[in-house]
Amino acid sequence: MAAAGPTDPEDFFRATRRAVEAVWRIESARLIAGLARLVRDVGLAEELAQDALVVALEQWPRTGIPDDPGPWLMATAKHRAIDLLRRQERYRTKLNLLGRDAEIQQQSAQADLDAALDDHIGDDLLRLMFTAAHPVLSAEAQAALTLRLLGGLTTGEIARAFLIPDPTAAQRIVRAKRALADAGVRFEMPTPDDMTDRLSSVLGVIYLIFNEGYSATGGESWTRPELCQEALRLGRILASLLPNEAEVHGLVALMELHASRLPARTDAAGQPVLLRDQDRRRWDRLLIRRGLEALDRAESLGGGPCTLQAEIAACHARSPSAEETDWPRIAALYEVLAYLQPTPVILLNRAVAVGMADGPDRGLRLVDELTEERALRNYPQLPAVRGELLTLMGRQDEARTEFARAAELTQNQAERILYLKSAAAPNRQPE
């Protein structure tokens, strides 16, 4: 029996389904954002968008994919939204017969006035970003909802990204939408006075997604490049929507520069390669150029913590080799960053930079000051850093103990293997 050709119905259906899914990934954020402006409910907007997707899956295999699939999906979803609003209008008409019309009109007028006052930017995608990252939600819920609404990821994809069961991811998303509804969060931009805090929340969610892709907290793989790509895409969109916000460009610069190292962060077997051992010829020069351009833009606008971290990443990007890294400048930048944002992880990174710039003994003293930090108690990078600094000081037996501790703490299999190899390494003379 001959193999089925491209006109085979099953092959055609599968190809069409893949095309629909690709269109959904590209268009879903704009679709949900436009619908949310219409119905003023993010959860309902997603349901309407999903309804349009179902219609596409039913019709496109028969009729073919439209020339403009995005507008087709939007038109289909808007028809359903209008039907819903008409049903609501009929309900209001019935209430009018009960003498409630005046009250409803007053509420509607006030809502329209509030919306007009708050609409100081007026972009649906931007509203959706700020709604998904609303402070009423936990960081985990914000990340899941952002990937769902703005990344177009399925529940299963989100579950795999964060190494949680599918039902847990589904519950996280459902509860996030319910929390927004229960808190009366409206689909709108924050007021100018609240903009700074809310923007920090949006940037934090995007960077959380990127970090999980750059250095996975668990699983078999050390990196998940697809999550980095999603975060980069969201950051670039945000930069285009808020072109005069320095920290937006700072975050994009930071992610571009870090993402440039991804090809060199693992070897042919998928095992981790530390920064000092990476083949810098494999770094993505296009991403480095884009990152440096974004950094220039951020610095011209003032910058902040994200911009400082991007400047640190730029020091590595500009260094031809690990040996030529400008550690004194990196240490100085970390001093400023630690003053502005003294989080335990930033303080730990500062200790590494000081150890490389001024000697491992000084770095080790700074690390030892952090051993009582509750946030670092089960953080595998803390003993790993101690192990590296102790190795540079020639205290190999103590270093082995630290690397073994790091291997116990990490939930990432590739990282565990890396630490176990370091624990088993032969004695190394201090550099």
pLDDT tens digits, residue range 194-226?
A: 777 789 889 988 998 899 889 988 788 889 898
Residue 388's pLDDT band, with cuts at 50, 70 and 90, is: very high
- What value does the mean pLDDT take over residues 332-338? 97
Separation CA 408–CA 423 (nearest Å): 12
Identify whether the C-beta of residue 133 lies closer than 8 Å to the C-beta of residue 231.
no
pTM (two decimals): 0.77
CATH topology of domain 354-431: 1.25.40
pLDDT of residue 3: 43
pLDDT at 382 over 50: yes
Q: Is 257 exposed, middle or buried (0-12, 13-18, 19+ CB in 10 A)?
A: buried
- State the pLDDT at residue 8: 66
Percentage with pLDDT > 70 across the chain: 87
The CA–CA distances, whole Å, from 20 to 50, 153, 175, 227, 354 equal 12, 14, 28, 21, 52
Q: Please give the pLDDT value at position 357.
A: 97
User: What is the Cα Rg of the chain in Å?
Assistant: 25
Is it the case that residue 96 has pLDDT exceeding 80? no
Amino acid at 59: Q
* Averaged pLDDT, 69-78: 82
In order, the DSSP letters of 129-161 are HHHHT-TTS-HHHHHHHHHHHTS---HHHHHHH
Say which residue, 6 or 421, is predicted with more confidence.
Answer: 421
What mean pLDDT do residues 173-202 have?
Answer: 85
Q: How far, in Å, are 20, 210, 265, 276, 417 from residue 223 at the CA level?
A: 28, 10, 8, 17, 14
Per-residue model confidence (pLDDT) at position 165: 87
Contacts of 48 (CB under 8 A, 6+ apart): 35, 39, 77, 80, 81, 84
pLDDT for position 406: 96
> Each residue of 20-60: pLDDT tens digit?
777 777 778 888 888 888 777 888 888 888 888 888 888 88
Q: What would the two tokens of residue 46 be?
A: 């997603």
The confidence score (pLDDT) of residue 9 equals: 66
Percent of the chain with pLDDT over 90: 45
Q: How confident is the model at residue 7 (pLDDT cuts 50, 70, 90)?
A: low
Residue 223 region, left (φ>0) first, then alpha (ψ -120 to 50), else beta?
beta
Q: For residues 243 and 219, is the Cβ–Cβ distance under 8 A? A: no
Q: Report domain extents, the chain.
A: 10-87, 354-431
| Backbone φ and ψ of 266, nearest 5° | -135, 150
* Closest listed residue to residue 387, CA positions, set 401, 366, 407: 401
Query: What pLDDT digit, counting tens, does each position of 101-129 carry?
Result: 444 444 444 444 344 334 433 378 888 88
Q: What is the pLDDT of residues 275-317, one digit of tens each?
A: 999 999 999 999 999 999 999 999 999 999 999 999 999 999 9
Query: What single-letter DSSP state applies at residue 104?
Result: H
Helices (H) and strands (E) in the chain, counts: 19, 2
C-alpha 221/C-alpha 235 separation (Å) is 24
The pLDDT score that the predictor gives to residue 175 is 93
Residues 6+ apart with CB under 8 A from 290: 256
Half-sphere exposure of 249 (CA within 13 A, CB side): 19
Residue 319 pLDDT > 80 = yes
Return the SS3 of 60. Answer: helix
pLDDT at 58: 83
Q: What CATH number has the domain spanning 10-87?
A: 1.10.1740
Q: What CA–CA distance (Å, rounded) separates 113 from 127?
A: 17
CA torsion, points 236, 197, 247, 189, in degrees to nearest 10? 40
Question: Which pair of structure tokens corresponds to residue 342?
Answer: 């003294």
Q: Is 266 helix (H, G, I), strand (E, B) or coil?
A: strand
Question: Average pLDDT of the chain?
Answer: 84
Higher pLDDT, 99 or 314: 314
Using CA atoms of 183, 189, 191, 194 in order, give the dihedral in degrees to the nearest 10: 70
Q: How far is CA 146 from CA 32, 122, 173, 201, 290, in A?
A: 12, 19, 9, 12, 24
For position 116, what pLDDT does the model report? 38
Rounded CA separation 373/102 (Å): 58
Which of 23-32, 82-91, 208-217, 235-244 shows the lowest per-residue confidence on average (mean pLDDT)? 82-91
Q: Is the pLDDT of residue 150 over 60?
A: yes
